[in-house]
Every structure is written in structure tokens, then in C-alpha cells.
Amino acid sequence: MTDDIAAGSPVSDLSSPADAYVGDPSVRAEWDSRYIDRAQLWSGRPNGALVAEIAGLTPGRVLDVGCGEGADTVWLARRGWEVTALEVSGVALERAAGHARDAGLTVRWVHAELTGAALPPASFDLVSAQYPALLRTPDAAAERALLAAVAPGGVLLLVHHAGMDTQEAHEGGFDPADYVWPSMVADLLDDDWEVEVDERRPRVAPEGGAGAHHTDDMVLRVRRLR
């Protein structure tokens, strides 16, 4: 199922679920179970912040981090972007690949955790991470991986639901301290980066799907200068 991105061979056919997933099996299993629970988890429409933020960008190579069921991936590919879509859930990837296939689009699929993927460094004109559920580690591996994938002159667009980082931990469930938030990526930026957007704003939410109740986004858009 996984495209061997290191070998540079694009694969758009996800026919075999027995694939070479790279990452923590428990992370994959947790997300697979969320997707299996619903025939369709998300709205099927592109995220509003992505649509707004890339309006002025020339299509190039884009990495869609945590692509889910592929609505952003398909939307980007339709607009001429050369998309690499990365996801831990094989269930979600199969759905995303089906949508791309139906639309006659070629996408490079990577079935991996962001930090385990053999992504070519500094090679994407746009790294888009829309509400990614990236687990935090002491070495800030996920934050660094997001930044490392951006080519000189390229953009990282990281969007998350506002306010979640300050929520109380739920018993037996969500603890914001476990996850990567835009402020943590912003904290790692040095002189090689220019902050173009770092703000909270009302969310332009796609209709329907889980997560539709979130009303505000945190949007971090940074450009790699060199």
C-alpha cells in the first residue's frame, strides 16, 4: 500500500491492505478503529483554512500530513498540485485513494507516522497539516519533521482547533499535553523562517462530518527563507 517514497516511485493503487506501514502499530490501530466506526468520518470537503491560505500560491509539490479520507488531497491534486499524502490509518488511506481514483488523479501515498516516514528532506513547496493529531515527544520530533519537509522558499501551513491546547485533560481520554500544537512549532523557528500568519480566527468549516462543532482555528503559516 505504501509508496516507496525514498525510491521515488509514485503509486496510486492501494489494493492490498497488507502493507509496509511505518510507525507505532497502536497509533495506527487507534485511528483505524475511529474510521471503521463510520462509513465516512469527515465532511468530504476541503478545509476552509487551506482553501483560503493557498489561494495565492503556485501549485508545486505538497505534502498533506494526516490526509484522513483525502478531501484536501483530492482538492489540491485537482488544482495541479503534485500531492504526497501521508496517513497512519490504512482505512482512511483506502478511502482517500478511492476518491482520488474516482477523480482520475494520481497521488503519492505514504502509510506512515510523520516521524517514521522516509520523506525527502526540504523538498515540498507546501506542507499542509490540517488538524493533525501528532503526538508530542521530548525531542519535538513531529514539530521538526514538519519543518524539515519544507523546501527553501516553501510554506508550512499548520491549522488546529483553537483552545484545545488549553483544555483540561479528560479522564481516560484526550489530554492536550500529549499533542503538538502550532505554538510548539512556532517556538522552534529561527532566522531561516518568516512568520506570515500566526493567529486565531473563526473557522470556515466544511459542512458535516465529525469536528464540525469547532468554531475557531489557530492558523500558523510560515515560509522557509533558505
Ligand X SMILES: C[S@@+](CC[C@H](N)C(=O)[O-])C[C@H]1O[C@@H](n2cnc3c(N)ncnc32)[C@H](O)[C@@H]1O
Whose Cβ is closer to ligand X: residue 103's or residue 225's? 103
Does 90 engage in binding with ligand X (CB under 6 A)? no
Does residue 220 bind ligand X (CB under 6 A)? no
CB of 115 vs ligand X, minimal distance in Å? 7
Residues in binding contact with ligand X, number by CB under 6 A: 21
Nearer Cβ to ligand X (141/225): 141
Which range of residues in 52-60, 77-85, 131-139, 171-179 is near ligand X by CB under 6 A? 131-139
Q: Any bridge partners for residue 63, and if so which? A: 84, 127
**Quick check: 53 and 157 in contact, CB under 8 A?**
yes
Instruction: Tell me which of 88, 184, 185, 222 binds ligand X, using CB under 6 A.
Output: 88
3, 53, 87, 143: residue in contact with ligand X (rule CB under 6 A) = 87
The verdict on 179 binding ligand X (CB under 6 A) reads no
Choose between 47 and 84: whose C-beta lies nearer to ligand X: 47
Cell numbers given for 69 = 479520507
Q: What is the DSSP string of the chain?
A: ----GGGT--------SS---BS-HHHHHHHHHHHHTSS--S-SS--HHHHHHTTTSPP-EEEEET-TTSHHHHHHHHTT-EEEEEES-HHHHHHHHHHHHHTT---EEEEB-GGGS-PPTT-EEEEEEES--PBP-TT-HHHHHHHHTEEEEEEEEEEEETTGGGSPPPTTS--GGGB--HHHHHTT--TTEEEEEEEEEE--PPSSSTTTT--EEEEEEEEE--
User: Which listed range, 3-11, 66-74, 189-197, 218-226, lies at the site for ligand X (CB under 6 A)?
Assistant: 66-74
Q: Which of residues 10-29 bind ligand X (CB under 6 A)?
A: 27
Pick from 1, 54, 111, 130 the residue near ligand X by CB under 6 A.
130
Residue closer to ligand X (CB basis): 54 or 71: 71
Site residues, ligand X (CB under 6 A): 27, 31, 42, 47, 65-68, 71, 86-89, 92, 113-114, 130-134
